[in-house]
Amino acid sequence: MSELRDLRGQVALVTGASSGIGAAIAEALALRGVRVTLAARRVDRLDALAQRLRQADGAGETQVVACDVREEAQVREAVSQTLERWGALDILVANAGFGGRGPLVDGDPARWKAMLDTNVFGLLLTLKYGARPMLEAGRGHVVVMSSIAGVVTTAGGAAYCGSKAAASAIADALRMEVGPQGVAVTAIEPGVVISEFQAVAEYPPDILENMLHGATPLQPADIARVVVQVCEQPEHATVGELIIRPRGQARP
């Protein structure tokens, strides 16, 4: 039986690391001894997370980089600073994104554009620049944070479901392109995870009840645990796509 990989000493870049799932993933990796670049727009949040991790026994080093994934130069800089600091990039977690719900005919085109620029264009930029040093090294793992919304479409989710369907498709295309060259790609598709996501998405109060029907929702740490487990798989094995729902959440 192949043993799980030890992640200690590896180097990761996590986008959207200032809160929620991104912050939890960054923390979980750092506590495994991974050196982590924390990238997001809210640098004050990143600084607070980095300070907390510096005080944790056995945690890997961290650095903070301001990064709006919609800005090509900032994405390039986040990758560049990671390579300059540690000389490698082993794990790329493309997590930055946000959601929204509402009838399409009542939708706000400006919000659609911001969402698609972040969830799709920003993802493409992150993968373009983050996967390149992995290909040069002939190894690495890319994790794309998609959503169950990209698999199961719901009324009111035209823009968000579309953006996450695109994210899963982008991840699968990248997997086919870089897998033969030694780089693994995994799309993670969570169900309901309680975080700031719901407030940013301006969810009405009854949405979660209708999705969960009494089921216990996931927490960001649940997704972080799965990401770590995926990255620990032996070199010859790749989890290409993974759905994780609350037990009892039947739909979406």
CATH code of the domain containing 72: 3.40.50.720
Mean pLDDT of 113-131: 98
In a domain, 2, yes or no: no
In a domain, 251, yes or no: no
Q: Can you tell me whether residue 144 is helix, strand or coil?
A: strand
What is the tally of structural domains in the chain? Answer: 1
Strands 241-244 and 91-94: what pairing? unpaired
Q: Domain range spanning residue 81? A: 11-243
d(CA 133, CA 150): 28
In a domain, 249, yes or no: no
pLDDT at residue number 6: 94
pLDDT at residue number 185: 98
Reported as a single tens digit per residue, the pLDDT across 3-38 is 889 999 999 999 999 999 999 999 999 999 999 999
Tell me which of 86, 129, 160, 197 is the catalytic residue: 160
Give the helix/strand (H/E) hosting 199: helix 197-200
d(CA 39, CA 69): 9
Contacts of 112 (CB under 8 A, 6+ apart): 159
**Cα first-last separation, the chain:** 36
- Please say whether the beta carbons of 92 and 25 come within 8 A: no
Reported as a single tens digit per residue, the pLDDT across 197-241 is 887 777 877 777 778 888 899 999 999 999 999 999 998 999 999
What sign does the CA torsion over 235, 165, 224, 44 have?
A: positive
Question: In Å, how far are 20, 183, 215, 234 from 242, measured between CA atoms?
Answer: 19, 17, 20, 17
In a domain, 248, yes or no: no
What sign does the CA torsion over 196, 199, 203, 206 have?
A: positive
Question: In Å, how far are 4, 75, 147, 155, 242 from 13, measured between CA atoms?
Answer: 21, 11, 20, 34, 20
Mean pLDDT of 39-49: 97
Question: In Å, how far are 24, 56, 97 from 163, measured between CA atoms?
Answer: 23, 36, 10
pLDDT at residue number 55: 94
Mean pLDDT of 82-94: 98
Phi, psi of 227, deg, nearest 5 = -60, -45
Indicate if 160 belongs to the active site.
Answer: yes
In a domain, 1, yes or no: no
d(CA 183, CA 185): 7
Other beta carbons within 10 angstroms of residue 231's beta carbon come to 25
In a domain, 232, yes or no: yes
In a domain, 169, yes or no: yes
In a domain, 217, yes or no: yes
